[in-house]
Amino acid sequence: MSLIIDRRLNGKKKSTVNRQRFLKRYRHHVKAAVQDAIDQRSITDVDSGSDVTIPRKDLSEPFFHHAQGGHCGHVHPGNHEFHRGDRIQRPPGGDGQGSGAGQTSDGGEGADEFVFQINRDEFLEYLFDDLELPNLLRKELKDSTDYQLKRAGFSTAGSPDRLNIVRSLRAAHARRIALSGKDRKVIRTLKRQLRAMEVSPDPADQQQATALREEIKSLNKKLKRLPFIDDFDLRFNNMTKVPQPSSKAVMFCVMDVSGSMTQEIKDMAKRFFLLLYLFLERNYEAVEVVFIRHHSEARECDEHDFFYARETGGTIVSKALLLTHDIIERRYPPSQWNIYIAQASDGDNWGEDSTKCYDIILDKLLPVCQYFAYVEITDLHHQNLWYEYATIAESYPDHFAMQHIHSYSDIYPTFRRLFEKKEGTHVGR
């Protein structure tokens, strides 16, 4: 008799492990595909899945088989014109008709490329693989809310769920030994006397023996009255709260939205920040992001305004930097926060302002922040700002980095360069 089973509710993801193994094995192919995808996407769909294409020959699993050549036969169906002895031109390349039924073809399919999809999470994972925030330090916090419970020996008071049974029983045992010591000594002496009497029986001893037995009995009773476990035997696991140093971090995104920034440059800047934002959002739960956009005035705004609103005007970079400093002073004391600043602009700035920027960064920002990343997006020659910044980069290579972006395809590599994992500097999050 047949058995009919409904297996539809069983697990569907049996192949997940194999799929992951496959992705891992072809990691570099997937990474390349992700980079291609990020170059071509519009800003709104940077974070979605992607197609990955791998040349089929890279994937083939070898097995022993014959190549073309030698002497072999083929049988095909559907003859309508051939007769015995007909000679046919050998098809060029040896493919096609010649490789008929008798042979197994590589992979069974003609397509040269193997295409599959990865989902959003996998896409982002490959996108931000091996990236990290540089110089991230654990900052000690006085008013830390982050505690960890640690064991700290045993105590005689506590809640029942912390009761340590072994310790408690051991204490009870010790107490029973200590309190009963004298009585047990007496019992032992009495028993010895009793045995001596039994060895040399004497009618006169009869009465004394009974008395001795009585005494032993009463002493034993007394011993039994000792409580097996008492309140002060109880031992509890003791836990204490240890404040945890936490690594809070804030990222300032500073973007120039002035009139000199063309729509294309703005798009590139936004894309850079979007990558940064996705990276932070994905890897650091506790990272706060502050968006600052500026032209001749600087303003803090929310994520939506930052990426989508339009504005024009002149450019005064120092105002944005001052605003950054202002916000740091008000909300993010450097003793508690890891501070990161990323700035994007086309390099255009109001005349004398660049030296001012130099001073602000050097005196006010660099001492408090972990890392300052500057990207300049321009096809033109560098202006004042770049050269001022370049001198900073020279003197503080670990904390100040700058990169130049020419086109869309530079964005992702530049982003990677700025946030690459650096050996030895990793402190942990």
Partner 1 sequence: MLAAEAPESHTIRRKQPLSTGSEWTFELLDLYDREFARLADKFRLDTYPNQIEVISSEQMLDAYSSVGMPLMYNHWSYGKTFLNNQQNYQRGRMGLAYEIVINSNPCIAYLMEENTMPMQALVIAHACYGHNSFFKGNYLFRQWTDASAIIDYLLFAKHYIAQCEEKHGVSAVEEMLDACHALMNQGVNRYVRPAPVSAEQEQARLREREAYIQRNLNDLWRTIPVSEQSQSHQDERFPKDPEENLLYFIEKNAPLLETWQREIIRIVRKVAQYFYPQRQTQVMNEGWATFWHYHLMHEMYDEGLITEGFILEFLHSHSSVVFQPAFDDPRYSGINPYALGFNIFRDIRRICEQPTEEDREWFPDLAGSDWLDAVHFAMKNFKDEGFILQYLSPRVMRDMRLFSIDDNDINPYLEVDAIHDEQGYRQLRENLAALYNLGNREPNIQVYDVDVRGDRSLTLRHYLHQNRPLDRDSTHELLKHLHRLWGFDVKLDSVDQDNIVQYTFITKSTGSKEQVKVTSKKRINR
Task: Please compute Rg for the chain using Cα positions.
Answer: 41
- Among 38, 39, 41, 75, the residue binding partner 1 under the rule CB under 8 A is 75
CB of 27 to partner 1, least distance (A): 11
- Among 28, 42, 88, 157, the residue binding partner 1 under the rule CB under 8 A is 88
Stretch that binds partner 1, among 66-74, 226-234, 243-251, 411-419 (CB under 8 A): 66-74
C-alpha–C-alpha distance, residues 105 and 96, integer Å:
11
Q: How many residues bind partner 1 (CB under 8 A)?
A: 64
- Among 28, 76, 225, 310, the residue binding partner 1 under the rule CB under 8 A is 76
C-alpha–C-alpha distance, residues 97 and 355, integer Å:
76
* Pairing of the two strands 287-294 and 298-301: antiparallel
- Looking at this protein, which amino acid is placed at residue 71? H
CA 54 from centroid of its chain's CA atoms: 28
Which of 424, 265, 256 shows the shortest CA–CA distance to 342? 256
Letter string b/e over residues 361-371, b meaning 16 or more CB atoms within 10 A of that residue's CB: bbebbbebbbb
Stretch that binds partner 1, among 79-87, 293-301, 353-361, 401-409 (CB under 8 A): 79-87
92 binds partner 1 (CB under 8 A): no
**Cβ neighbours of residue 203 closer than 8 Å, sequence gap 6 or more:** none
55 binds partner 1 (CB under 8 A): no
112 binds partner 1 (CB under 8 A): no
Give, as ranges, the residues between 225 and 264 that touch partner 1 (CB under 8 A). none
CA 426 from centroid of its chain's CA atoms: 14
21 binds partner 1 (CB under 8 A): yes
Cβ-based nearer residue to partner 1, 114 or 358: 114
C-alpha–C-alpha distance, residues 149 and 235, integer Å:
18
Cβ-based nearer residue to partner 1, 69 or 201: 69
CB of 80 to partner 1, least distance (A): 7
32 binds partner 1 (CB under 8 A): no
Question: Is 303 within 8 Å of 289 (Cβ atoms)?
Answer: yes
- Among 28, 42, 63, 304, the residue binding partner 1 under the rule CB under 8 A is 63
Structure tokens at 300: 């803090």
- Among 28, 84, 142, 195, the residue binding partner 1 under the rule CB under 8 A is 84
406 binds partner 1 (CB under 8 A): no
C-alpha–C-alpha distance, residues 190 and 208, integer Å:
11
Cβ-based nearer residue to partner 1, 83 or 304: 83
C-alpha–C-alpha distance, residues 273 and 281, integer Å:
12
28 binds partner 1 (CB under 8 A): no
CA-to-CA separations, 165 to 172, 235, 239, in angstroms, rounded: 10, 8, 16
- Among 31, 41, 43, 59, the residue binding partner 1 under the rule CB under 8 A is 59
Structure tokens at 279: 């990276």
1 binds partner 1 (CB under 8 A): yes
DSSP string, 140-151: P-TT---EEEEE
Stretch that binds partner 1, among 81-89, 180-188, 213-221, 254-262 (CB under 8 A): 81-89
CA-to-CA separations, 413 to 35, 172, 366, 404, in angstroms, rounded: 8, 69, 25, 11
- Among 39, 44, 55, 62, the residue binding partner 1 under the rule CB under 8 A is 62
425 binds partner 1 (CB under 8 A): no
71 binds partner 1 (CB under 8 A): yes
C-alpha–C-alpha distance, residues 252 and 361, integer Å:
14
CB of 108 to partner 1, least distance (A): 9
31 binds partner 1 (CB under 8 A): no
149 binds partner 1 (CB under 8 A): no
119 binds partner 1 (CB under 8 A): no
- Among 48, 55, 66, 303, the residue binding partner 1 under the rule CB under 8 A is 66
27 binds partner 1 (CB under 8 A): no
C-alpha–C-alpha distance, residues 147 and 149, integer Å:
7
In angstroms, how far apart are the furthest CA atoms of the chain?
A: 138
Cβ-based nearer residue to partner 1, 51 or 297: 51
Residues near partner 1 (CB under 8 A): 1-8, 10, 12-15, 17-25, 59-80, 82-90, 97-98, 100-104, 114-117
